[in-house]
Chain A
Amino acid sequence: MNELVETIADFMGIDGLRAVLRAGVVFIVGLALAIFVPRRIRHLKMQPQQSLIVRSALRYGLVIITVIWTLSLLGIDLSVLFGAAGILTVALGFASQASASNLISGLFLMFESHFVVGDIITVGDITGEVTSIDPLSVKVRTFQNLAVRIPNETMLKANVTNLSGYPVRRYDMRLMVGHGEDLAKVTRVLHEAATKIEICLQEPKPLIIFQGWEELGLSIQFSVWATRVNYLEMLNRMHVGVRDAFAANDIEVPVLRRDVNVTGGAARVEPRAP
């Protein structure tokens, strides 16, 4: 063994051997840190995606520092490497502008945390559940069960609505009643209809806004609240409930009618089945 060390020392010189040993220690310690330090980050309170980014950045940062330090200890001139890397970076940069933009947008999205995996979001005309937030794109599963990939750059520029942001949601129902209707009665009937549907929240209270007289009648906004879980069921039941309540209380819902007058020629009219 001693002979082997003496042979290497003769070949490299004693300083060279020390440099190699130092480089080896730095390399092993650096790699160990790159493996173990990011694992400790898991204990911090962060979203899973944020934690992944921080851990990856820390791991690759430590690896790069370790490699550069090791090479410099071995006496390798890094300026050549940096020069080559610079040229490569410029070439890659031109080639992957879109990817880089998406990558940086992804970082912003992850740290902004406007939505997380599992939330229902609307981006433009796409509505669906977020299945993953990746460095380059956000994957969404629509209600038609289509897998949609939205580039992070698009997500950053678009208006993103998170439908899962709060536990309760309001539904604005548009209604129209005849010009001659008693508005106090309409108000009472609407409140009663809301009370009958137990998943319609009593607080925040249902809101009735008379929006103005139109050609067909009075336009009304009827706003009711439900928990996110019951939202769809509530709005379906509310439409049925309001229609039934209007019918039971003889409240007219105006509909557009067209009278067709035939002024010339002959018209064939078929009698309607009884």
Chain B
Amino acid sequence: MAGVQDPWGTKEVPVDQMGRWRIGPLTLHVARKGHEWRLAHEYADDPLTSGVEVEVPMPPHDLLGTETVRRFGVSNPSCRLTLTPQLADRAVVTRPEHPFVVPPGEASVVYVTAPLWVHVSYGQDEALLTEIPTFRLSDTWFGPPNKHGELAYATRTFCRTSVDELQIRPHRAHTRVIIENRSPQPLDFVEVSLPMPRLDLYRARTGAFWTQDVGLLRESGDDFAALRLDATRPGAAPEAKLVTRARQASESNLVVRAFTSLFAGMGG
């Protein structure tokens, strides 16, 4: 019963049966026992591995020999298992694969992506079992290596400047970043920290996931940049519907952060 299906949503996993979901590089196995759920997962080597597959139910095999297996004891007899897409639980620091410069007085739009997290819940009231990233990103430290920095995930981007160039992947969230350089100096886009826990997740009709737009503004002679989280729907997919609310509410839609925190190592 394997096939290209939508991996998100609710499926029934009968007792003593199991299911398999492949979402990009993540393969998730879930087995339902009398009073427990067993989950195991593995990753492909390439974070850009694409495609989805769902096989529920499938012939059971023993997950206990798997290195990543986790058992969840439950009293609820429900066999409903729900997979919900979510954004990362920390900020994601994105670095361009190739140097990217915004000349003085110019504005540029770049599209960046980050892996989704899978929120696994069960039962009618969708009680949380666990959360698993579709790809485990490397850790990185954003800011000075003291108490003022922040633990984040690291990823790289091709900095696509047109949505047509963007290869839509079902396991990644896409963000449109609008960079405006009002400074007389060129702006080397070295890295940007996207505050994923503060972003909402939307889904377009095409199945692609989007966050709301993020605006970065460098004022003339200013050492600070305003990071603006657009309250409206994603600019590249205005018809997209809200799927998951942000993990953390922003105090306002305008978040001002230190420029050096947004673009580490920014050149002249």
Contact = CB atoms under 8 A, between A and B. Distances in A.
A201 B141 CA distance: 7
A244 to B, nearest CB: 15
Interface string A148-172: 0000000000000000001110000
Interface in A186-225: 195, 197-204, 225
Nearest to A229: B151
Interface stretch (B25-33, B142-150, B172-180, B233-241): B142-150
Contacts of A227: 139, 141, 151
A56 interface: no
Given A198-B136, A198-B137, A203 B142 contact: yes
A47 interface: no
B264 interface: yes
A230 interface: yes
Contacts of A197: 138
B192 interface: no
A199 to B, nearest CB: 6
A248 to B, nearest CB: 14
A200 B139 contact: yes
Given A202-B154, A203-B154, A203-B264, A166 B147 contact: yes
A210 B142 CA distance: 27
Interface string B89-123: 00001000000000000000000000000000000
A167 B147 contact: yes
Interface string B62-103: 000000000000000000000000000000010000000000
Contact of A166 (B136, B142, B145): B145
B140 interface: yes
Contacts, number: 43
A211 to B, nearest CB: 23
Contacts of A230: 139
Contacts of B264: 203
A195 B145 contact: no
B145 A202 contact: no
Nearest to A170: B145
A227 B138 CA distance: 12
B141 A203 contact: yes
A240 to B, nearest CB: 15
A167 B138 contact: no
A204 B154 contact: no
A261 B91 CA distance: 63
Contacts of A198: 136-139
B113 to A, nearest CB: 17
Nearest to A204: B145
B141 A200 contact: no
Given A203-B93, A227-B151, A168 B141 contact: yes
Contact of B149 (A167, A200, A226): A167
A230 B138 CA distance: 12
Nearest to B264: A203
Looking at A200, A202, A203, A227, which has the most chain B CB atoms within 10 Å of its CB?
A203
13 contacts: A166-B147, A167-B146, A167-B147, A167-B151, A168-B141, A200-B139, A201-B141, A203-B141, A203-B142, A225-B141, A227-B139, A227-B141, A230-B139
Interface of A: 166-168, 195, 197-204, 225-227, 230
Given A198-B138, A203-B141, A230-B139, 16 more contacts: A166-B145, A166-B147, A167-B147, A197-B138, A198-B136, A198-B139, A201-B138, A201-B141, A202-B139, A202-B140, A203-B142, A203-B154, A204-B141, A225-B141, A226-B139, A227-B141
